[in-house]
Amino acid sequence: MNDIIVLRSSQNDVLLKEIQAKLNDRVEEVHLSVRPTINIIASILTAAPKIKQISCPPSLFERTPKKIKEALEKVNVSFSSILLTPGRPRMHSDSKIVEIYALNQKRYSAKKISRELKIPLTTVYYYLNKKNETVE
């Protein structure tokens, strides 16, 4: 099974160079983090002639012109939406978040929790407010 090659550049000229550098005749799946244009698709098809699947995030998939989707269909390349990276990764582990709630149960103030766990006070407030929203 082949891995998905992820192309992340937001500038077209940089993206086209990235396509040339990362794609070859063994690549079958590509994920774009930008809305595909005719130039980008043509470059991908040229650099990876055995391509079977091109994907992008759902928000970009919706805004991709129908002509591009139809053109890919004609050359038997599947085009779909996949959410590979659902947002920014969390800074604090699940265990640290559990500790916030445990110390809060022991009636520690947010400030004391912040000092105890060495995390920003705003982060403590964020998780405490988030917990209160799910309880209500």
Mean local confidence (pLDDT), 73-82: 93
Does pLDDT of 65 surpass 80? yes
Domain 94-135 matching CATH 3.40.50: the answer reads: no
Where residue 1 falls among pLDDT bands split at 50, 70, 90?
very low
Mean local confidence (pLDDT), 74-79: 95
b/e per residue, 106-128, with b = 16+ CB within 10 A?
eebebeebbeebebeeebbeebe
Lowest mean pLDDT among 7-21, 48-62, 87-101: 87-101
Rg of the chain, C-alpha, whole Å: 22
Mean local confidence (pLDDT), 22-47: 92
Would you say the pTM of this structure is higher than 0.85? no
Length of the chain: 136
Does pLDDT of 136 surpass 80? no
